[in-house]
Structure 1
Amino acid sequence: MSGSGDTRQAGAPGDQFSMRLSGGPEAAATARGALARLRADIDPPLMETLRLLVTELVANSVKHARADSVVLRVLVGRSAVLTEVTDEGPGFDPAVTGSPEDTSGWGLFLVERLSDRWGAVHDGRSTKVWFELRRG
């Protein structure tokens, strides 16, 4: 079942959540829908950027890493929203982010262009891509 394993943390409603998604064609849509759990005080343009980048990264995990599951973690702070997408894929070269001329593969290009900071970590077992969007 997609979206199982929600581990929402205590504290202000919507400040943080983590969920494990089944790695199938519906994973990106499920992740996008889960963002509705976040606080209502996130301004709409920031929320649209967050939805877009989460959709792209989860889709990348499913397509390129062929992940059976993907973990989405979102933390909303006063000054920024930190998002992590983790899968059990083999990793990739974060220096290769695509270009506007490409017909596909826009995920990392968009993360690089639209986020304030981002990175990727591969520890030999899993790959985590994270990004930060500043608030206000």
Structure 2
Amino acid sequence: MSSYTASVDLPPIPSSVPLARRLVRDVLRTWHAPQDREDAELLVTELVANVVDHAGVDVLTLELSLSGAWLRIGVLDGSAIMPVVRELSHTEERGRGMRLVASIADRWGAEEHRGGKRVWFELSPAGVGEPDGG
């Protein structure tokens, strides 16, 4: 299976959220990626919206890679504040984004990157799930 990578810088403004969704949709279609595209679009929406809402940075970078059967999408920003999976609240209108990422992604994480961070998730091909021992 082929491996592909793509990276694009976006301004951390609200209109970058739907743009990131479209980019993911178009790239996955072009790559013939076997992942659930709606899951990938939803999760990238959450990651980009978090940067727009909380990071206070000048630029964010959207990274995509398809290696073997696994898709990895990361969002980099210049803020060192790591994301938190919040307790579920039925009274708060917001704050469920990282809970969605943790629930839907096969794997996810956050790591320091050049004074900021990279928040990433991985998706297996639709219907496969995480491999044994992974």
TM-score range, shorter chain: 0.7 to 0.9
What residue is the counterpart of 2:4 in the other structure? Answer: 15
Aligned length: 122
Alpha-carbon distance in structure 2 between the residues aligned to 1:110 and 1:85: 16
- For structure 1, the residue ranges without an aligned partner over 5 or more in a row are 1-11
What residue is the counterpart of 1:32 in the other structure? Answer: 21
Alpha-carbon distance in structure 2 between the residues aligned to 1:20 and 1:34: 12
Q: What is the TM-score normalised by the length of structure 1?
A: 0.78
Identity of aligned residues (%): 31
Pairs within 5 Å for 1:45-56: 46-56=36-46
- For structure 2, the residue ranges without an aligned partner over 5 or more in a row are 127-134
Post-superposition Cα deviations, 1:1-31, rounded to whole Å, max 9, x if no partner, equal xxxxxxxxxxx6x922100001111111111
Q: What is the TM-score normalised by the length of structure 2?
A: 0.80
Relative contact order, higher structure (CA 8 A, sep 6+): 2
Residue 108 of structure 1 aligns with an amino acid whose one-letter code is: M
What residue is the counterpart of 1:106 in the other structure? Answer: 96
**Partner SS, residue 21 of structure 2:** helix
Q: Which runs of 4+ in 1 moved over 3 A?
A: none
Aligned-residue offset at 1:100: 5.7
Post-superposition Cα deviations, 1:55-88, rounded to whole Å, max 9, x if no partner, equal 1100101111122211000001232101110101
